[in-house]
């Protein structure tokens, strides 16, 4: 009798390009979105600038040359100079570091605290949910920029306190998002099965609830960095963020607003930098939403 051989364990029978998984499929969908990829490349460009700013900046961003004040863009100063004779290109390059640092770490703080509170509220419910939800409602009752201004006014004007303020005002955004996701997940059959076999709540939260809540957090976090950069620029414009001589884009706009008519380049370059950075994160965030949301797939 001829022998019949099988290759059930032969992984080579499956082409590597056919191997799939939720994150691999999401990356494939993201790569097909040209606009989202453009946003990703723009973000990578700004990250490289932030890392290499001390090396590629032609001048010291703090160096003042009053004899060269308000010079228009030229071969010597590509972006021109400000009212103190400082090279605008050098200040814009170093300002990239500040904006990305504030945007990234303020959102990271919001995500950590918001996710923790959202999971506790959604999973345990009852009085825990009531207290946390009322805390979210109180924060949401104030316009975010006004609440950030109040927090910075109490803590004192500085870049670090502006970061704290932005992180605090955005906690409800991630907390309510995670709470809603947990409420839908905790009634799933696999959660009931985990409870039936005696798995502790901490294990359920760590191994089942949190991993399945990451998708909306990632999307919202990417979009939230753009919002945080705008809020940091707004606080800097009001003099509540980075203090001189730090080259923060919002502060640069504030210092140059009186020269809009006579030296428009002092406003154009910081403003365009804010616009391009925010645009990049919005494009990438929209692409991640389309790639990670099953409802967007055919």
Q: How many residues does the structure list for the chain?
A: 298
- pTM of the predicted protein model: 0.83
Q: What is the DSSP string of 106-135?
A: HHHHHHHHHHHHHHHHHHH-HHHHHHHHHH
**CB environment 96-125: b (16+ within 10 A), e (fewer):** bbbbbebbbbbbebbbebbbbbbbbbbbee
Closest Cα partner for 280 from 41, 73, 68?
41
Angle 169-170-176 from CA coordinates, rounded to 5°: 120
Q: What distance in Å separates the CA atoms of residue 245 and residue 225, rounded to the nearest whole number?
A: 24
Cβ neighbours, 10 Å, residue 26: 19
3-state helix, strand, coil in the chain (%, to 5): 75, 0, 25
Using CA of residue 167, residue 169, residue 173, residue 176, what is the dihedral sign? Answer: positive
161 close to 187: Cβ distance less than 8 angstroms: no
Hey, is 251 helix, strand or coil?
helix
State the fold for domain 30-55+101-296.
Answer: MetI-like fold (1.10.3720)
- Whole-number pLDDT of residue 5: 47
Hey, is 81 helix, strand or coil?
strand
> Tens of pLDDT along the chain (298 residues)?
444 444 444 444 444 445 456 677 778 888 888 998 999 999 999 999 999 999 999 999 998 888 888 999 999 999 999 988 999 999 999 999 999 999 999 999 999 999 999 989 888 878 998 999 999 999 999 888 899 999 999 999 999 999 999 999 999 999 999 998 888 877 777 777 877 787 777 777 777 788 878 888 888 898 899 999 999 999 999 888 888 888 999 989 988 888 888 999 999 999 999 999 999 999 998 888 888 765 555 4
Q: What distance in Å separates the CA atoms of residue 238 and residue 233, rounded to the nearest whole number?
A: 9
- Whole-number pLDDT of residue 31: 85
């Amino acid at each position: 009798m001829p022998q019949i051989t099988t290759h059930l364990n032969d992984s080579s029978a499956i082409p590597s390009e056919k191997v799939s998984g939720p994150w691999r499929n999401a990356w494939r969908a993201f790569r097909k979105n040209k606009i989202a990829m453009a946003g990703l490349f723009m973000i990578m460009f700004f990250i490289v600038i932030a890392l290499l700013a001390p090396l590629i900046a032609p001048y010291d961003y703090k160096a003042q040359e009053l004899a060269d004040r308000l010079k228009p863009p030229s071969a010597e100063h590509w972006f021109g100079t400000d009212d103190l004779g400082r090279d605008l290109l050098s200040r814009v390059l170093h300002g990239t570091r500040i904006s990305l640092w504030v945007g990234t770490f303020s959102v990271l703080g919001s995500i950590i605290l918001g996710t923790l509170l959202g999971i506790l509220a959604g999973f345990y419910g009852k009085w825990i949910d009531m207290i946390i939800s009322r805390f979210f409602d109180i924060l949401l009752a104030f316009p975010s920029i006004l609440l950030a201004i109040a927090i910075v006014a109490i803590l004192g004007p500085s870049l670090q306190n502006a970061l704290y303020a932005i992180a605090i005002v955005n906690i409800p955004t991630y907390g309510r998002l995670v709470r809603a996701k947990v409420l839908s997940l905790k009634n799933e059959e696999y959660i009931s099965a985990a409870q039936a076999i005696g798995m502790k709540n901490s294990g359920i939260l760590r191994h089942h609830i949190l991993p399945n809540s990451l998708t909306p957090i990632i999307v919202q976090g990417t979009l939230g960095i753009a919002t945080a950069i705008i809020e940091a620029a707004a606080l800097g414009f009001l003099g509540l963020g980075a203090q001189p001589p730090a080259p923060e884009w919002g502060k640069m706009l504030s210092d140059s607003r009186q020269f809009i008519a006579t030296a428009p380049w002092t406003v154009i370059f910081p403003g365009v930098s804010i616009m391009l950075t925010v645009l990049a994160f919005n494009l990438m965030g929209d692409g991640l939403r389309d790639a990670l949301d099953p409802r967007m797939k055919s």
